[in-house]
């Protein structure tokens, strides 16, 4: 592989940061991509055209933003750090790029303008909440970079250490496809572990919004105790799904007559499929709410 493009982007990034006296904070997920080859690969994965409105979270100084803007109709760029946002605004002005809507705010707290694609090197520390937030929006595809371990949990297989609340939540919402790994050497400052780029493609709704909300609560309750039996996990996390006290909850579960439900209640959380969680959540919710 020709390393010169990577070195060139690294030099540009370092010069810009040094010029403005910016020291990146790894604790805030400020790890900037300096590998041009990987940057271009990520952009190509998005298959962007002049009809696309692209959402980017955690823009940094615009390593992705500027190149996305050259291909898309519009880029909605959200950057929380005020100083970094000002640097990007100046770069956009200097390069006469006028199709970027730059939002200096916390992506977790703002309502996203309309978009159809997401392409982002996400700040690591918000990977989980921002992904769940994406699920509330309609989009065609998302090309997202996560820490490698997190990406593995997005598509975790049932019964494995990677099977998680994240896996179960994404199951009904989108297909998850691993695209490429990115070495920690491709960033400044260098993170402790490698990253993975994934593609999310939304599925047509298999369940109603109401059922998914119930499913979501049960999934959250269950995976707080992923190695416990489902019966015990639900009792221990009852506050997430009901206002019943422990005694009332135990009685209702003990009084369940359905053999199918009782078989599921004996399973460990890590061994139950998303479809089984959905079945249980609908059946038990009607019992707990009576």
Which residues on adjacent β-strands are paired with residue 188?
A: 32
Task: Name which of 274, 268, 162 is nearest 218 in CA terms.
Answer: 274
Task: Name which of 238, 255, 254 is nearest 246 in CA terms.
Answer: 238
- From first to last of the 290 residues of the chain, give the pLDDT tens digit: 334 344 477 777 777 777 766 666 655 556 888 899 999 999 999 999 999 999 999 999 999 999 999 999 999 999 999 999 999 999 999 999 999 999 999 999 999 999 999 999 998 899 999 998 998 899 999 999 999 999 999 999 999 999 999 999 999 999 999 999 999 999 888 888 999 999 999 998 778 889 999 999 999 999 999 999 999 999 999 999 999 999 999 999 999 999 999 999 999 999 999 999 999 999 999 999 87
The total number of residues written for the chain in this structure: 290
pTM for the structure as a whole: 0.86
Domain with CATH 3.40.50.150 in the chain: 4-202
* Distance (Å) of CA 248 to CA 6, 25, 124, 282: 61, 48, 40, 19
CA atoms within 13 A on the CB side of 220: 14
Instruction: Give the C-alpha separation, 50 to 24, whole Å.
Output: 33
Domain with CATH 1.10.8.100 in the chain: 209-288
Q: Which helix (H) or strand (E) holds 8?
A: helix 4-19
Classify domain 4-202 at the CATH topology level.
Rossmann fold (3.40.50)
**Which pLDDT score is estimated for 158?**
95
Q: Is CATH 1.10.8.100 what the domain over 209-288 is classified as, yes or no?
A: yes
């Amino acid at each position: 592989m020709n390393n010169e493009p990577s070195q060139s982007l690294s030099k540009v990034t370092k010069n810009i940061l040094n010029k403005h006296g910016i020291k990146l904070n790894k604790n805030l997920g400020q790890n900037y991509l300096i590998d041009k080859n990987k940057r271009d690969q990520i952009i190509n994965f998005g298959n962007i055209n002049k009809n696309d409105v692209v959402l980017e979270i955690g823009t940094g100084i615009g390593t992705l933003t500027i190149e996305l803007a050259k291909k898309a109709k519009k880029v909605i760029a959200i950057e929380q750090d005020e100083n970094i946002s000002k640097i990007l605004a100046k770069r956009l002005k200097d390069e006469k790029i006028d199709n970027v809507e730059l939002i200096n705010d916390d992506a977790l707290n703002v309502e996203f303008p309309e978009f159809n694609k997401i392409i982002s090197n996400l700040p690591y520390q918000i990977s989980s909440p921002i992904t769940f937030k994406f699920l509330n929006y309609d989009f065609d595809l998302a090309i997202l970079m996560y820490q490698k371990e997190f990406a593995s949990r997005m598509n975790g297989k049932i019964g494995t250490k990677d099977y998680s609340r994240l896996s179960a939540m994404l199951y009904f919402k989108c297909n998850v496809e691993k695209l490429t790994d990115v070495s920690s050497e491709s960033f400044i400052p260098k993170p402790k572990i490698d990253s993975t780029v994934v593609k999310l493609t939304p599925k047509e709704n298999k369940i109603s919004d109401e059922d998914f909300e119930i499913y979501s609560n049960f999934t959250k309750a269950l995976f707080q105790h992923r190695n416990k039996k489902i019966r015990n996990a639900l009792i221990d996390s009852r506050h997430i799904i009901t206002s019943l006290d422990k005694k009332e909850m135990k009685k209702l579960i003990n009084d369940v007559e359905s053999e199918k439900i009782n078989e599921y209640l004996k399973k460990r959380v890590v061994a139950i499929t998303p479809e089984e969680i959905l079945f249980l959540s609908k059946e038990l919710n009607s019992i707990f709410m009576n």
